Amino acid sequence: MIMYKEKELRKIALKYIKTHNTMTIATCLNDVPWATDVFYASEGFTLYFISNPSVCIHCKNLALNPRISVAISEDYRLKSMKDWRKIKGIQMEAHAEILEKREDVLKAVRIYIKKYPFTSFYLKRLFDISEYTFTEKLLMRLKILPAFSPSSENRFYRVIPKRVYLVDNEKSFEKRLEVPI
């Protein structure tokens, strides 16, 4: 079994988080678990996602119980026993919160747009941010709006990790490594 040095482990975990797009959020309310996949953007180990608090079960759950679990991983196609060694991923014990303060929402918007530029126009309009690029201004003048138009009820959430683990079966089969945060 090859072990990572603490600094290397953090670097690998942060790179994994930064280079992936979806996470599974597990919530629980009244002993009923619920898991769902969402797109996310990150700043360090802090994750941001957008969901609709009035219709999404995970949002309703975390409004009453903010303790969640997160998993970020690949979808592996197993062809042989050797493929089990390919499994890598992030597991997280965390706390999630809806962002209410304007400065927190603006920060989340900037982080999200950096990762998903195609959401820029929608997010700026949804959260009343008038910092439009030249192209966005032109599209508004020409009344050519992007087709991306999710619910106007969507809100940003922040996931604050309590514990983070890296799973890397190439280094350690079936053993997760706790990452210092």
102-112 pLDDT per residue, tens:
999 999 999 99
**Is the dihedral angle over the CA atoms 67, 72, 73, 75 positive or is it negative?**
positive
In a domain, 64, yes or no: yes
Range of the domain at 24: 6-74+86-172
153-170 pLDDT per residue, tens:
899 999 999 999 999 887
Query: Quick one: average pLDDT of 95-108?
Result: 96
In a domain, 49, yes or no: yes
In a domain, 79, yes or no: no
The two tokens of residue 19 are 């280079």
In a domain, 1, yes or no: no
CB 180 within 8 A of CB 163: no
| Total domains present in the chain | 1
CB 29 within 8 A of CB 67: no
In a domain, 99, yes or no: yes
The CATH number of residue 128's host domain is: 2.30.110.10
In a domain, 163, yes or no: yes
Query: Quick one: average pLDDT of 17-27?
Result: 97
120-152 pLDDT per residue, tens:
878 888 887 777 666 666 666 666 666 555 677
Nearest Cα to 12, choosing from 88, 124, 123, 120? 88
In a domain, 80, yes or no: no
